[in-house]
Structure 1
Amino acid sequence: MLRARDIVRRDALTGGEIVDRVVLDHGDRHRRRVAMRGVGGLAFLLDLPTATVLEDGDALVLEDGRLVWVEAAPERLLEIRAASEHALRRLIWHIGNRHIPAEIAADAVFIAQDHVLVEMVRGLGGSAEPVTRPFRPEGGAYAGGHGHHHGHGHD
Structure 2
Amino acid sequence: MRRATHLTGDIEPSATVTLDHGARHRRRLRLTTDQGAEFLLDLPEARALREGDVLALDDGTAVRVRAAPEDVIEVALAEPLELARIAWHLGNRHTPVQILPGRLRLHPDHVLEAMLAGLGLICERHRAAFDPESGAYATHNHGRHDHDH
C-alpha deviation, 1:88, in angstroms: 2.1
Among 132, 136, 142, the residue aligned to 2:137: 142
1:20 counterpart = 2:15: yes
C-alpha deviation, 1:32, in angstroms: 0.7
C-alpha deviation, 1:112, in angstroms: 0.3
Match of 1:61 in 2: 56
Deviates more, 1:97-106 or 1:74-83: 74-83
1:108 counterpart = 2:103: yes
Match of 1:5 in 2: 5
1:121 counterpart = 2:116: yes
SS in 1 for 2:86: helix
Give the residue type in structure 2 aligned to 1:86.
Answer: L
CA RMSD across the alignment? 1.9
SS in 2 for 1:76: strand
TM-score (norm 1): 0.86
Structure 1 segment 55-94 matched on structure 2, within 5 A: 55-94=50-89
C-alpha deviation, 1:93, in angstroms: 1.2
Q: Which runs of 5+ in 1 are unaligned?
A: none
Identical aligned residues as a percent: 44
SS in 2 for 1:144: coil
The count of aligned residue pairs is 147
TM-score (norm 2): 0.89
1:31 counterpart = 2:26: yes
Please tell me whether the aligned partners of residues 4 and 58 of structure 2 are also in contact (alpha carbons under 8 angstroms): yes
Give the residue type in structure 2 aligned to 1:39.
Answer: D
